[in-house]
Structure 1
Amino acid sequence: MSATTAENIRITDLANPVLTEMQKGALAFAAANPTTLTPEAVLAAAQAQTGLSDFGPGDFRERLAVWMRAGDNDAELSAVGRGSLFSEAVRLASNRLQLEDTVRRHPEILDIPIERPLILAGLPRSGTTYTLQLMSADPRLRSLPHWEAVRPIAAPWIKDGHDSRHDLCAAEWAQTDAIMPYIKMIHEFSPDHISEDIELQGLDFGGYYFEWIAHVPEWRDYQFAYDATPILRYVRKAMQVLSWQKGPNRWVSKCPQHMEQLPAVRGAFPDSYVVINHRDPVASIQSAITGIAYGARLTRTRVDMRGIAQYWIDRYERLLRACVRDRDLIDASQSYDLYFHELMADPFGQLERVYAGAQVPFDQQTRDAFQQAIDHNKRGKHGQLVYNLREDFGIEPAAIRERFQFYYDRFPDVRIEVK
């Protein structure tokens, strides 16, 4: 249910969802087809699906085991949530098998340089997606459209000379949109939408993607105990394969989790140019947890509004503290702090500064490409959700802001949006 004013949409049943018939059907189907969350089941399914057996370096197996154990221990993960977790793990394992098979047959792939990539970090809902959409319009830069992110290896999907991946992704997006129509206002997953490199981290069973599906503090804590550099080196390997399939080999990519991975980003991509997006964390949080609460009508057995807020406020604090701690490890000549309000006011001016720092020419062709992307990616093109921390989550914005004062102190140009 929602209340609508012009293009503004307020979801009024977050805590007590009123399910559509399609949502009820999805829950019923999942309940009738229960899922076993074990690493053995995931790997066996991937092998059966692809006909391949070589997963490459085996260090990922420990991470996969933690994924599955943490998900299995989530007592309020619904049948849909368990099914989603399993199917995503099988997809990633299948993609890994195909990637390793491609490298085995074409070892020259590992000689392809990934030249001076532009890597974006920043909180979820802080303008990273908008920045990436614009920069991906530059044909000199390689990016990862969603249709390619979910099926990165082309060969298995080419039938009679036609690459079926875009068509499959479009059908999947249409189904998602039909079941959860407000998702596109939160995070679009249409085929041509540019994806995060969290998809590539997932090939090595790393990254915080899993945290958006299930309540898995065990996985969160496991990540903090280990260096993410090897996982990001696997991302580089995936980029080599993707550039071999279709160039160029200078990448632009992003992931909000890079805020807590800055040393690992430098370790895996020492010649990268890092752009860190900054936005009022309260604005980012209210958007993110509203989206999580909306999705919970399918993935959770109950919607715990306070629990969602508590977990993600803590998670944001970890991201922000790591960013404050590590920001100065990246030289000013190889990085740029991009503020949300400045990006929205003057996208051309901000991106010209980014390009200057990254030593990429910014000419009229670049401007024209960006203008087309701006016209195509207008904020609120699907409608705009209305957020209310006080009414929906019982939280005062000032309380969050006080908790994050260390971030405002370090980046005083961040403009307060939610009061």
Structure 2
Amino acid sequence: MSKATPLLRLLNVLLAPGMRTRKDPDAVFDRLLEEVQRGRVPLGADDLAEVDGLRLLLADHAGNPDLSGLGWMSTQDQIRDRLRNRAAVHDIQANHPEVRDEPVTAPVFVVGLPRTGTTLTYNLIARSPGNRGPKLWEMNNLGLPRPAAEREKLIAAARKRYAVVGKVSPGWAHLHPLIADGEEEDFMLRAHTEMYATWGPAPRYLDYVAGADLTDDFLFLRAALQVMAAGEAPAHWVLKHPMDLWRMPEILRAFPDARFVWTHRAPAAAVASGCSMAEATHMMYIKPGRIDLDRIGKEWLGISAGGVERAIKLRQEVPDDAVVDVVYDDLLADPKTVMHGVFDRLDLPWSETDDANLAASLDRTGHRPHAYTLERYGLDETQVAEAFSAYQIPPSVLR
């Protein structure tokens, strides 16, 4: 993993004075809430209760002695984005109640741990004619559909914002490029996910999420999708986030006709990749030289293995025909046949556009493979196998 860049060190120095506000994270959270509601219909008690977990998240990171200046600013920015989303949807629903009737028909959720083929699968389904996934720029600027000129300005602004990530943490930019007008993960609209622990240690927040029923989070996701595509609803929304895997029953309560594509792979690569992702994010949030790789390994093994075990148990609550299993090795060996099978199971047509999308997705020109190992994070294959003892990759069904 790359060392701290000169830009990162400079930003941490410049932002150090702002660290004083960490002493009162509740006051910071209240200020963020006031800011996002300014000029909008105020949030009600129910909305405020549903985002209160973010108050705990902010306090967890504020209490981390290894948090950097950039990390504290970024933590506030991320939480501000989530609070703004809630405030924007509430305001739009109040002023345009008709958006509540916008159709969200049979959305597809691509679920699976990192490096199991989720990105390829997600992009192909989301970019199929008639479908779409939420774009990064619009999740950061949640609102009703905009005219083309305004949309382009917002995309350009988002492009500048995320270009900084590549300069501050080249490892993260390589591992998960943030493309302003590209499809991104649905947690960027919602309030709660274990993914926020990639910023740094957040033990109380992780305990909160582990015991939380996130049905409201997904009801809010539905409302956000209605706002984003008001009058322009796609045939199918397509969503993706690894931690959605163990939330399928909650998702079905919000989207009763949802379908799931669960990608499977031997878990060692997924765990190592998750650790690498956490390390790359820590680079932006934690003081140089203070990243605890062994802690990352232990935490992400627990999150991944515990989540998959939970998903296995919860799958019995999900209709059999609601889940399509995709085996990574099959997808790698014969992507066209496997993806044809996925589309057939989802009752989606396959077109020449999908052929072109598949060819583009498989073009690795200029791609530099990302290297990561379990050993870097104090783990080995035996530990991973024991942690995932309840998990078995299903037999090939789409070839």
> After TM superposition, is the score higher than 0.5?
yes
Between the aligned residues of both structures, percent identity stands at 22
TM-score by length of 2: 0.89
1:336 aligns with 2:362: no
Q: 1:229 aligns with which of 215, 233, 255?
A: 215
Contact 1:196 1:254 (C-alpha < 8 Å) held by counterparts: yes
Report how many aligned residue pairs link the two structures. 389
Residues in 2 aligned to 1:20 and 1:161: alpha-carbon distance in whole angstroms: 34
- Tell me the SS of whatever aligns to 2:212: coil
2:250 maps to: 264
Q: 1:273 aligns with which of 237, 259, 270?
A: 259
Contact 2:144 2:227 (C-alpha < 8 Å) held by counterparts: no
Structure 2 counterpart of 1:42, which letter? F
Q: 2:285 aligns with which of 287, 293, 299?
A: 299
- Tell me the SS of whatever aligns to 1:33: helix
1:30 aligns with 2:15: yes
Counting only pairs closer than 5 Å after superposition, residues 14-413 of structure 1 correspond to structure 2 as: 17=3, 19-34=4-19, 35-36=21-22, 38-45=25-32, 47-48=34-35, 51-52=39-40, 54-56=42-44, 57-153=47-143, 161=150, 163-201=152-190, 205-244=191-230, 246-248=232-234, 250-301=236-287, 302-375=290-363, 378=364, 381-390=366-375, 392-408=376-392, 411-413=393-395
Residues in 2 aligned to 1:289 and 1:373: alpha-carbon distance in whole angstroms: 25
Contact 1:138 1:370 (C-alpha < 8 Å) held by counterparts: no
- How far did residue 79 of structure 1 move? 2.5
TM-score by length of 1: 0.85
Residues in 2 aligned to 1:161 and 1:185: alpha-carbon distance in whole angstroms: 29
Structure 2 counterpart of 1:179, which letter? V
Residues in 2 aligned to 1:139 and 1:354: alpha-carbon distance in whole angstroms: 15
- How far did residue 122 of structure 1 move? 0.6
Which has more helix, going by share of residues?
Answer: 2
Residues in 1 aligned to 2:26 and 2:149: alpha-carbon distance in whole angstroms: 34
Structure 1 counterpart of 2:295, which letter? G
Residues in 1 aligned to 2:272 and 2:395: alpha-carbon distance in whole angstroms: 20
Residues in 1 aligned to 2:213 and 2:140: alpha-carbon distance in whole angstroms: 25
Deviations 1:197-224 (A, max 9, x none): 11122xxx22223222121121111122
Task: Kindly report the root-mean-square deviation, in angstroms, between the aligned alpha carbons of the 2 structures.
Answer: 2.4
C-alpha spacing 1:154/1:111, structure 2 compared with 1 (3 Å):
closer
Contact 2:111 2:242 (C-alpha < 8 Å) held by counterparts: yes
Contact 1:144 1:195 (C-alpha < 8 Å) held by counterparts: yes
C-alpha spacing 1:313/1:70, structure 2 compared with 1 (3 Å):
same
Deviations 1:229-250 (A, max 9, x none): 1211111111111120643252
- How far did residue 78 of structure 1 move? 2.4
Structure 1 counterpart of 2:12, which letter? L
Structure 2 counterpart of 1:397, which letter? E
Please list every run of 5 or more consecutive structure 1 residues that lacks an aligned counterpart in the other structure.
Answer: 1-10, 415-419
- Tell me the SS of whatever aligns to 2:253: helix
Please list every run of 5 or more consecutive structure 2 residues that lacks an aligned counterpart in the other structure.
Answer: none
Residues in 1 aligned to 2:284 and 2:331: alpha-carbon distance in whole angstroms: 35
- How far did residue 313 of structure 1 move? 0.7
